[in-house]
A and B are shown apart, each in its own frame.
Chain A
Amino acid sequence: MNSTNASSSNNNNNNNNNNNNNNNRKDIQDTLDEPVLDTLLRDLNNVWAKMKQVLMPTGNQNLLKDWDLWGPLILCMTLAIRLSFSAPENQSAMVFTITFIIIWCGAAVITVNSKLLGGKMSFFQSICILGYCIFPLTIVSLITIIIDYFIIDLILVIVAFVWSVYASIGFLTDVRLSQKKTLVIYPIFLFYFIIAWMVIIK
């Protein structure tokens, strides 16, 4: 059986066109043998589903149990590129680096903070949620490429800011922290505020 698997893999000349079929074994939950395309699509769908959930919280907590850091990475890179795009020439590298660092270190600090306050959420899951909740702000920052009127931009950023904070609070305060809620919310508020501020001043 081993050799069958090996020879069918050898017939593929492209990673993404792998039609390695173990159909007879698909009924067994065996992720060791699934085709490459399946894995790729599964992961991509997962990322997209999470992004949609940030925009329209359905209250389905289970989706975020399955954390991944790809979404936050994509969103972070998009935001960092967009911000460095409209920065003056000599500062664009700096802007990019700073955005990147603020997002990841900010998320880490908030996570450590909420864990120290007694939160039960796992480290990676919390970073995942914070990263995904940057989605509204990223969208707005892309919109401001086209729309250049300060007042409109300001309104959009404020809307996105409130949206991000609201979404992340919805996911993150699912823990028994009722008395310390403010202490947990404040850093999140600050985090998104800084990002919103960076978006608005471009």
Chain B
Amino acid sequence: MLEGQTMTSYGNSNGNSNSAFNNNNGEANNSIFKTSSHPVALFFHLFFRIAAIVIYMIPFVHSNYVISFVIITMFLAFDFWTVKNISGRLLVGLRWWNEINEDGTNSWLFESKDNRVVNKTDSRIFWGALYIAPIIWILFALMSLLSLSFKWFLVDIVALSFNIANLLGYYKCEKDAKQKLGGFLGNKSMFQGMIGNVISNRIGGLFGHN
């Protein structure tokens, strides 16, 4: 109970993304951490993204470029690593990565659980944060561009690369998982456990070989 209440207070002070996901009883911020099956993962999934955005927006921060760049990049890096390795597999059961084959070509691999039982709250917040953060950074990038502030534009580009990389990875992973689902429906009943299936997708054309 105590843990639940701590989570709630964090949820309340972070306003932005949470308010978009109101439950019908109107007590939005209380519910998402209670209806989620992985509240800790959910918290961290949101925390680093929001921290990076908030720090970028604080005017005080703009007085010292190097320190703020480092701090923002640090949060972005933590966020990238967390979303890629932790919240993806805990919240929606997906994982993506890249492997180099013997002959030097790329392949992007996607992994998803066979029987994915995805919590509604988890899924909504996961995908919501995944889509909204890049949009916010694109807005910031446009603003920096318009004010010809090149150094902050660089920060925006870095932020965008981190966020969009995850977005693309999970988007493709989800598509792949849906495809997989369509193909194996007949044999589904055999696999009741949480054994992941690895299907390799040859998306070599992206940055791969000649």
A interface residues, Cβ below 8 angstroms from B: 1-2, 5-6, 9-10, 12-15, 25, 28, 30-33, 36, 39-40, 43, 65-67, 70, 73, 77, 81, 84, 92-94, 96-97, 100-101, 115, 118, 120-125, 175
**Bound CA–CA A66/B82 (angstroms):** 19
Contact across chains for A67 and B70 when beta carbons are under 8 A apart: no
Contact across chains for A125 and B194 when beta carbons are under 8 A apart: no
Sample (13) of A-B pairs whose CB atoms are under 8 Å apart: A1-B192, A9-B90, A15-B44, A15-B82, A30-B195, A31-B89, A31-B196, A33-B194, A70-B81, A77-B70, A120-B105, A124-B106, A125-B104
Q: Determine if B18 is an interface residue (Cβ-Cβ < 8 Å).
A: no
Residues of B within 8 A of A84 (CB): 66
Residues of A within 8 A of B208 (CB): 122-123
A73-B103 CB under 8 A given contacts A15-B40, A32-B95, A122-B209: no
Residues of B within 8 A of A12 (CB): 40
Q: Determine if B189 is an interface residue (Cβ-Cβ < 8 Å).
A: no
Of the stretches B51-59, B110-118, B179-187, the one at the interface is: B110-118
Contact across chains for A1 and B194 when beta carbons are under 8 A apart: yes
Name A's interface SS.
Answer: helix
Q: Determine if B169 is an interface residue (Cβ-Cβ < 8 Å).
A: no
Residues of B within 8 A of A122 (CB): 100, 104-106, 207-209
The chain A residue sitting closest to B98, CB to CB, is A124
Contact across chains for A13 and B154 when beta carbons are under 8 A apart: no
- Of residues 28 to 63 in B, which have CB atoms within 8 Å of A's CB atoms? 37-41, 44
Residues of A within 8 A of B115 (CB): 2
User: What distance in Å separates the Cβ of A66 from its nearest Cβ neighbour in chain B?
Assistant: 8
Contact across chains for B154 and A97 when beta carbons are under 8 A apart: yes
**Bound CA–CA A10/B89 (angstroms):** 15
Q: Determine if B86 is an interface residue (Cβ-Cβ < 8 Å).
A: yes
**Bound CA–CA A40/B44 (angstroms):** 15
Contact across chains for A32 and B104 when beta carbons are under 8 A apart: no
Contact across chains for B196 and A70 when beta carbons are under 8 A apart: no
- Of residues 55 to 84 in B, which have CB atoms within 8 Å of A's CB atoms? 65-66, 69-70, 73, 77, 81-82
Q: Determine if B3 is an interface residue (Cβ-Cβ < 8 Å).
A: yes
A9-B117 CB under 8 A given contacts A32-B95, A120-B104: no
User: What distance in Å separates the Cβ of A150 from its nearest Cβ neighbour in chain B?
Assistant: 25
Q: Determine if B26 is an interface residue (Cβ-Cβ < 8 Å).
A: no
Contact across chains for B104 and A6 when beta carbons are under 8 A apart: no
Residues of B within 8 A of A36 (CB): 85-86
User: What distance in Å separates the Cβ of B197 from its nearest Cβ neighbour in chain A?
Assistant: 10
* 4 more CB-based (< 8 A) A-B contacts, given A2-B194, A9-B38, A77-B70: A10-B38, A15-B86, A94-B151, A124-B207
The chain A residue sitting closest to B193, CB to CB, is A1
Residues of B within 8 A of A9 (CB): 37-38, 40-41, 90
A93-B151 CB under 8 A given contacts A122-B208, A124-B98: yes
Most chain B CB atoms below 10 A, which of A2, A13, A30, A67: A2
Contact across chains for B40 and A67 when beta carbons are under 8 A apart: no
**Bound CA–CA A36/B69 (angstroms):** 27
User: What distance in Å separates the Cβ of B150 from its nearest Cβ neighbour in chain A?
Assistant: 7
A120-B209 CB under 8 A given contacts A33-B194, A70-B77: yes
A39-B41 CB under 8 A given contacts A65-B100, A96-B66, A118-B210: no
User: What distance in Å separates the Cβ of A198 from its nearest Cβ neighbour in chain B?
Assistant: 16
A93-B65 CB under 8 A given contacts A15-B82, A32-B113, A65-B100: yes
The chain B residue sitting closest to A5, CB to CB, is B194
**Bound CA–CA A25/B195 (angstroms):** 9
Q: Determine if B93 is an interface residue (Cβ-Cβ < 8 Å).
A: yes
Partner of A81, one of B66, B77, B98, B195: B66
